[in-house]
Amino acid sequence: MKRIILITGGQRSGKSQKAEELALSLSDNPVYLATAHIWDDEFRERVRRHQERRGPQWTNIEEELYLSRHNLAGRVVVIDCVTLWLTNFVQIENGKLKMENCLTAAQKEFDAFTQPDATYIFVTNEIGLGGVSENALQRKFTDLQGWMNQYIAAKADEVILMVSGIALKVKSERMKSEKFATALR
């Protein structure tokens, strides 16, 4: 049975750790699908610490763009993170971000990747919770991120918001069932 879980929140809110704990509660050998492009030594060290923390029971896969290349049917998969994955779709022409192409491509890839029955735990950032950037490109990316988060949340069975290390359930199967039952009355 397919299950999609979205874990969202601000930077350093505990999203990745929550996703890993959840994955380990569901599987003895989960998959960690890392989407980041490693662009400097500081980030490379951050990735190394994350891998070390996870331990040998994890299958680690690095994929910057085409998640659907990996058939993970029947597995529990943490995808960390949507924000970094989405940056890999960014297309800039003449200094302008072409958001509609990025969003369409990311949505199409998301749909292809999540087609097989598996448990998908997506980690993402709520970058729009902060102030409005002075940089036009950053504002456009914030919009793109928000739209993709909404897309995934709409398809998710469960959405968890992390705030200062505390998990808040925003959406669950039970909530969907109660809403449906109320609508039938």
Q: Which two tokens stand for residue 64?
A: 């910057």
Does the annotation mark 50 as catalytic? yes
**79 beta partners:** 33, 122
The span from the CA of 126 to the CA of 175, in Å, is 22
The one catalytic residue in 3, 27, 38, 50 is 50
Q: Which two tokens stand for residue 24?
A: 């380990």
**What separation, in Å, do the N-terminal and C-terminal C-alpha atoms of the chain show?**
29
Please, are residues 6 and 158 in contact by the beta-carbon 8 Å criterion? yes
How far, in Å, are 37, 72, 174, 181 from residue 82 at the CA level? 12, 17, 25, 32
The beta strand positions in 35-149, using DSSP E, are 59-62, 76-80, 92-93, 96-97, 119-123
**What residues are labeled active site?**
50
